[in-house]
Structure 1
Amino acid sequence: MSDLRWLCRPLFGLVLTLTVSCGIDQNTLATIGGRQVEIVPFQTYVGEVTGEAWQAVSARVTSRLLDQYLDRQVVLEAARSRDVNLSHISSEMGPSEVQWLLDELCGPAPEPSEAEISTEVGRKAEETRPARAHVRQLLLDSHELGLEALQRLSVGEDFVEVSRQLSRAPNASDGGELGFFDHGSLPPEIDEVIFSLAPGEYSEPVQGPSGYHVFQILEVVPEGPPDLAEVEAGVRTVFAQKMVREHIQRCIGGLASEVGVEIYDKHLWFPYTGRYAEEQ
């Protein structure tokens, strides 16, 4: 097998295998730290995540899912190599278990600098915040049922009670509360309806992908300067999430180099273009 190694070119500690040889079973899509990663469990994973037959999923989506699948295997193999206690980790490795392993292996993400936060807050403070509407809804099966709901509301029936009896929104029992929406953040046909209403008014039934909506506007906040406390909180959240993503990406890249990842692209049923593939 050593005379075939020239076919396998390294990339940052990873290897993309360009042959079906090298003595590897064709049911293997990769080896990670010397352990074989089989194709069938990955196909099952693709079907579970997408809700479709794995054969029907596009190459672009399948490539992205293979990245995620291999990331998990890299983290697990790195944990084994570092003698992390895996007794409580299930074979399916749910999100909370993956996060626990990442915390163990990668440590906390760095904090964004106060200078970066201050600069971004200053920039956003100069923007005008769009009008916002506080909305609740009824989600109904038909236009006729929407008209029935409106008739009951027009004679003074309680919105929450009508919601409990007629609506099939996930939170119908609580009155269909949706919270605040910025003007322009919703699909145009819904945005136009909502922002044409005054507080307390109801919309006519509006058809959407899930059924017919009757909206009530509870409050409208006109456009104006943003609330600085909200701006700062939002900036801190966005920056923190970005730092975590980048930290995890760097960490997994380092772990992949540490344990060694070898992809057998000729064993795959799709053209793989993910992160573990060599850039052209």
Structure 2
Amino acid sequence: MTRTVAFTKGHGTGNDFVILPDPDGELVLSDDQVAALTDRRFGIGADGTLRVVRSANLPEGAATPDAEWFMDYRNADGSAAEMCGNGTRVFAKYLVESGLASIDDAPLRIGTRAGTKVLTRSALGFEVDLGLFAVDESDVLVRARGLDVPRPGLGIDVGNPHVVVALGAAAELDALDLALQPVLSPLPPHGANVEFVVPADPLVTGGVGAIRMRVFERGVGETLSCGTGVAASALAVRHWAGAAAPDEWIVDVPGGILGVRIVEERDGSHVLLSGPATLVYSGEVALA
């Protein structure tokens, strides 16, 4: 038996999603159904799905009372993820363009598994406050095809886990073969996205830092962009650079350019991510 559902395809710097409107919380998708929707040859094709559901219609304990809308993000393999930085901007774009929410009179609050995220408009499109972050300096070695030897990685948590690896030259970054998943030793309990970064030369211009990045996302593979990975990469390079490092960064990913800011709030340092969001097309699809 099949069921037809509406969808919209959207992306943020090439990190693309199948958006599924489900305000009443009636759409239950198996991992296989998510994988079929995101399959690039036999489905719509995407890095993941964003189910648009009213927080009040989520199961008890899952709701975010301070946000009307909840972003149910699933990776391309069907696994649930805590957060997606690019996804929040695409989600906000969908809510605003569909008339389901406004962002011009007040910041837009979106519920995620990593808590409520607050979005505003920015020069690049939308900016999301990813909240507090944590640096984990535990020793992690990263093996990847194209690297001559394993490299040390720095753990960064921005609501979901990342391991960031610094490379010495752009040629090393370009030579990476991320068709094969990097191997982490030890492997974090819930896995991690892995980012490889190269600093610009000079690293800082006009008080703004600049880096290039490629990423392997757990449950997906290499993507053109990863919003939380961009934030984690900027935070890692800032950490390595020391006290004089800037609080504003530009990150160049295969899908485009994103901005990162670190600001002080009452509860500590927050990291904010800015970038574009695009809705490509809408349609209907049959779910087996």
**Which has the greater radius of gyration?**
1
Settle same-fold status: TM greater than 0.5.
Answer: no
Which structure shows the bigger proportion of residues in helix conformation?
A: 1
Which structure shows the bigger proportion of residues in strand conformation?
A: 2
Q: TM-score, normalised by structure 2?
A: 0.27
